[in-house]
């Protein structure tokens, strides 16, 4: 594994910068999440809007700016959550770092679907549960229950964020998408005369979720383009330890993430989950490649 570069300039100032940011984050996250826990008792979309505030402030504390191209499905912009009568949306994105969560959490009014073992983490697990994250184990014995939980959330008004690669990567490429992640958007028709046990949740006519591909690349570091040598600064994958990665990242002066929101895909237009997964992967991979070329003008329609 290639060692990431270190910030230029005084190491003392870089470490002081990291310490100040870390202190601010330690103060912000518990207080903001505690307030969100109270909002869970309040009906409506306040908890969704506040979650975006939590992630947005965290990005500011990291000196991480976000550039967005394209429009969220079913909206004309703005910070609102899904309106009554709009089809739910499943956002599918590439995944290379823990930073993907605050970035996409700032941009998208949604809840995340994460691996079940994250729920057992001492701090992140508590934050994720209060943030209404859906945990999946991918075990055959729990597949039906987890599928129904995700479908229920979509029916009740949430949008979801999925990482269909199934793991984070080094950020140099987009791994193939697993078609199983698209099962909640394109469910197989039930055979005539057959009954599910227990009964499967289904969407109302015309209310099956749309799939919106999302490309995410970290393309600026201390004001300079991120090339192959600098990309490991952001990537967190495999058996990398989280704490050293966070500490190293906090020492840089500024960062930027670029996000492309591609045109949504209607699952009904595809003959199978595999075809849908491939179309989503193609859009995300081509958009990410465009961003890795450090293009300032990106066209979501071109991918």
Pick from 64-68, 123-127, 163-167: least confident = 123-127
User: What pLDDT shows up at residue 59?
Assistant: 95
Q: How far apart are CA 45 and CA 220, in angstroms?
A: 33
Q: What is the mean pLDDT of residues 117-122?
A: 69
Using DSSP's 3-state secondary structure scheme, residue 256 falls into: strand
Answer for the pair 172, 191: CB distance below 8 angstroms, yes or no.
no
Instruction: Supply the pLDDT for residue 61.
Output: 95
The 10s digit of each residue's pLDDT in 147-175 is: 888 888 998 889 999 999 988 887 889 99
Confidence at 209, pLDDT banded by 50, 70, 90: very high
Q: How confident is the model at residue 234 (pLDDT cuts 50, 70, 90)?
A: very high
* C-alpha closest to that of 300 among 63, 72, 147: 72
SS3 state of residue 120? helix
Q: Does the structure show a pLDDT above 80 at 96?
A: yes
Residue 219 near residue 294 (C-beta atoms within 8 A) = yes
Residues 126, 195: Cα–Cα separation, whole Å: 38
- Give the pLDDT score at 6: 65
- State the Cα–Cα distance between residues 141 and 130, nearest whole angstrom: 25
* Rounded Cα distance, 222 and 146, in Å: 41
Work out whether strand 210-221 and strand 134-136 pair parallel, antiparallel, or are unpaired.
unpaired
198 upstream amide cis, omega within 30 of 0 = yes
Alpha helices in 187-303 (DSSP H): 242-250, 273-292
Most distant CA pair in the chain: distance in Å?
72
Write down all domains in the chain, each with its CATH number in brackets: 11-76+85-186+196-293 (3.40.1130)
Q: What is the mean pLDDT of the chain?
A: 84
pLDDT band, very low/low/confident/very high, at 8 (cuts 50, 70, 90): low
- Please state the rounded mean pLDDT for residues 44-63: 91
Residue 103 has pLDDT above 60, yes or no: yes
> What is the spatial distance between Cα 30 and Cα 207, in angstroms, rounded to a whole number?
37
0.85 surpassed by pTM: yes
């Amino acid at each position: 594994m290639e060692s990431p570069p270190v910030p230029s300039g005084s190491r003392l100032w870089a470490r002081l910068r990291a310490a100040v940011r870390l202190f601010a984050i330690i103060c912000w996250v518990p207080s903001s999440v505690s307030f969100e826990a109270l909002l869970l008792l309040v009906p409506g979309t306040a908890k969704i809007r506040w979650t975006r505030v939590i992630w947005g402030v965290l990005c500011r504390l990291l000196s991480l700016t976000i550039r967005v191209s394209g429009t969220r499905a079913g909206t004309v912009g703005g910070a609102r959550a899904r309106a009554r009568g709009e089809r739910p949306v499943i956002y599918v994105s590439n995944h290379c770092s823990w930073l993907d969560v605050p970035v996409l959490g700032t941009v998208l009014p949604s809840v995340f679907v994460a691996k079940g073992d994250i729920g057992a983490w001492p701090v992140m697990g508590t934050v994720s549960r209060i943030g209404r994250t859906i945990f999946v184990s991918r075990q055959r014995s729990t597949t039906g229950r987890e599928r129904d939980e995700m479908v229920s959330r979509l029916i009740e008004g949430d949008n979801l964020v999925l990482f269909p690669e199934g793991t984070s990567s080094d950020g140099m490429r987009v791994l193939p998408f697993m078609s199983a992640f698209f099962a909640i958007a394109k469910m197989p028709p039930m055979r005539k005369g057959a009954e599910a046990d227990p009964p499967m949740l289904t969407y109302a006519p015309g209310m099956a979720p749309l799939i919106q591909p999302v490309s995410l690349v970290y393309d600026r570091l201390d004001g300079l383009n991120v090339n192959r040598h600098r990309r490991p600064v952001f990537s967190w994958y495999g058996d990398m330890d989280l704490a050293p990665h966070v500490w190293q990242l906090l020492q840089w002066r500024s960062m930027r993430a670029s996000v492309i929101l591609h045109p949504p895909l209607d699952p009904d237009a595809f003959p199978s989950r595999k075809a849908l997964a491939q179309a989503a992967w193609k859009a995300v991979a081509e958009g990410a490649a465009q961003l890795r070329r450090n293009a300032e003008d990106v066209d979501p329609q071109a991918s």
